[in-house]
Amino acid sequence: MAVSSQHAPYPENRTRILQALTLATLVLFAASLVLDWAYVGPERTQGEVQRVFYVHLGSFLGSFIAFTAVVVGGVIYLRTRNPKWDTFGLANVEIGLVMSAITIVTGMTWAKPIWNTWWTWDPRLTSVTIMWLAYAAYMMLRAGIEDPERRRRFAAVYGIIAFASVLFTIIIVRVKPDTIHPVVAGPTQADPTGAFDVTDRIRNTLFFSLFTFTVMTATLVWYRVRLENLFERVLRRKIDILAEL
Amino acid sequence: MTVNPTGPTKKPAASADSQTVQRRPLTPYMRAVGAVAWKDLRAELRSREMITSMVLFTVMTVMVFSLALELDAEARKSTVVGVLWVTVVFAGTLGLSRSLAAEKDRGSLDALLLAPVERSALFFGKVIGNLIFVLLVALVLMVLLTVLFNITLIEPLLVLIVILGTVGFTTVGTLLSSMSVHARARETLLPILLMPVMMPVLISAVRASSAILDDLPSSEWIAELRMLAVVDVVFLLGAYLLFGFVVEE
């Protein structure tokens, strides 16, 4: 995705693919909203507020994909030293931060009627906040280091370390018996067999929403990478023009 | 805890007066680790600047806690674990940032990197040096809290948890401070980088130590202890793999 030569135009077919992805994201998101509001119906015990769950889990999946991509980008950067993998990592951190912020905010709107509080120091709520802070620290690290080569290298290293907080968030509800956060799928202390006991409509809506957020994350990351590349091109142009004067 | 299974076991460098021009072989791994740690200890024994500031900071933090929280006997019992770990983390962060910053400002970091030893040996040497300082501060703090709060903290199990907790904390802290030392606002950047990453250590350590302090049966805290040990191993392994990339120039 990096611009190889200095003044080469952005490849036409890539722009087409991105436009198609954008359209797909919009259509998918609209469709999943329709499913959420019209198809799935209020949940038996939780009522209308349960509808936010599809966005909640979807955005968490988005942040999980993005933060995993940060590790992949970091490892590849450290092996190849190609700056485009650093741009890829940066884009994924920013999109992951937005996605997990959505997870936290939707979780709070759900918690107020269900738990009668916006916030509680439950293990999972705590760990997802730690995760968000770890990636906010990634941005601080980038801002603090001036040498570009060193900034890329340190960012790759920290992006890999910070993934510990993502694993922590996923594992913690499985091993801590004292969480009140619901676990929808997979084994827990209370239910080691890991049942996935929902109606067909809920399952369909959930999987559709997860798919939507996956596509959305990929699209947003692509836009962010493109923006960064454009930014660098402008910078190079500026230097060229100044050199000609 | 710093044994490196794949470490080189080459013979030490030939005597300096040997005329043959060849690449000097690497110093044996464990000897390099020991040399770096011993260098840190000796420098500290002579200057005493890090340990003095850490211990004084510790005493003052305990003072601030007991004044700010207006602790009576009941409140002391419920907050002592929190006071212990918050103080260890803050004093430890202070020491970690000094340890690497001093190394860089004197230019001795470059000299260390030029030495014919494995990079990870340097890292584990620094970790052992830092670990000794942080543990020393933690022990002083435990005695201090035992005396001032009238709660016996010097127990084998609690000491074990403090050791496990500081191992995880110092490992990841040394790695991150070797990065933050190159940043513009390094004193403020280190805590920001370190806190979220070390939170698994802190959470498990706090829970395990308060359960032990309440004399709960081992079923209540053994899971936390196991978690702490696992996190320590993950951090040691991760830092071993990543340190080479941090100091490669």
Record: contact B200-A150, CB cut-off 8 A: no
* Residue listed under structure tokens 């992951």: A96
Answer with the residue of higher pLDDT: B135 or B150.
B135
| B24's tokens | 């000097």
pLDDT value for B124: 92
**What mean pLDDT comes out for the span B141-167?**
90
Provide the chain A residues 159-188 that lie in CB contact (below 8 A) with chain B.
Answer: 160-162, 164-165, 168, 175
In chain A (245 residues long), the average pLDDT of successive 10-residue segments reads 53 88 94 86 75 90 95 95 94 96 92 86 86 95 92 95 88 69 62 61 87 95 93 92 89
- Measured between beta carbons, which residues in chain A are less than 8 angstroms from residue B183? 141, 144-145
Is ipTM beyond 0.90? no
| B14's tokens | 């030939």
Rounded CA-CA distance A111/A88 in Å is 34
From A211, A223, A222, select the one nearest A32 (Cα to Cα): A211
- Measured between beta carbons, which residues in chain B are less than 8 angstroms from residue A127? 199
| B239's tokens | 């830092």
- Measured between beta carbons, which residues in chain A are less than 8 angstroms from residue B197? 134, 137, 161-162, 164-165
Per-residue pLDDT band for B214 (boundaries 50, 70, 90) equals confident
Centre a 10 Å sphere on the Cβ of residue B229 and count the other Cβ atoms it contains: 14
Rounded CA-CA distance A198/A186 in Å is 13
Q: Residue A47: beta bridge partners?
A: A43
Which helix (H) or strand (E) segment is A185 a member of?
none
Residue type, B184: R
Q: Please report how many Cα atoms fall inside a 13 Å half-sphere around the Cα of residue B36, on the Cβ side.
A: 31
A147 close contact with B: CB closer than 8 A: yes
**Interacting residues of A23 by C-beta distance below 8 A, sequence separation 6+:** none
Rounded to 5°, the CA angle B26-B31-B37 comes to 120
pLDDT value for A41: 72
- Evaluated on CA atoms A110, A116, A118, A123, the torsion sign reads negative
pLDDT value for A9: 66
- Measured between beta carbons, which residues in chain B are less than 8 angstroms from residue A175? 223, 227
**Cβ pair A217, A84 in contact under 8 A:** no
**Which 8-state DSSP code applies to residue A40?**
S
pLDDT in tens, B90-122: 999 988 988 888 888 888 888 888 888 888 888
| Candidate from A131-140, B18-27, B84-93 with smallest mean pLDDT | B18-27
Task: Give which of B119, B179, B241 to mutate to test A binding, by max A Cβ within 10 Å.
Answer: B179
Residue A47, helix vs strand vs coil: strand
Provide the chain A residues 194-213 that lie in CB contact (below 8 A) with chain B.
Answer: none
| B241's tokens | 């793999």
B197 close contact with A: CB closer than 8 A: yes
Per-residue pLDDT band for B216 (boundaries 50, 70, 90) equals confident
pLDDT value for A173: 64
Nearest to A145 among B183, B203, B248 (CB): B183
Report whether pLDDT(B17) > 80. Answer: no
Rounded CA-CA distance A164/B242 in Å is 14
Residue type, A105: V
Nearest to A137 among B184, B192, B238 (CB): B192
Rounded CA-CA distance B206/B224 in Å is 9
Residue of B nearest to A165 (CA): B197
Rounded CA-CA distance B62/B84 in Å is 9
**Cβ pair B207, B221 in contact under 8 A:** yes
**Interacting residues of B222 by C-beta distance below 8 A, sequence separation 6+:** none
Rounded CA-CA distance B139/A22 in Å is 58
**Cβ pair A166, A131 in contact under 8 A:** yes
What is the phi-psi region of residue B198: left when phi exceeds 0, alpha when psi lies from -120 to 50, beta otherwise? Answer: alpha
**Cβ pair A104, A129 in contact under 8 A:** yes
Rounded CA-CA distance B104/B207 in Å is 37
A88 close contact with B: CB closer than 8 A: no
Q: DSSP H helical segments within chain A, as ranges?
A: 12-34, 53-80, 83-115, 123-144, 148-175, 200-244
Record: contact A134-B196, CB cut-off 8 A: yes
Going from the C-alpha of B27 to that of each of B36, B39, B85, B115, B122, the distances in angstroms are: 12, 16, 38, 9, 11
Contacts A–B by Cβ distance under 8 A: 74
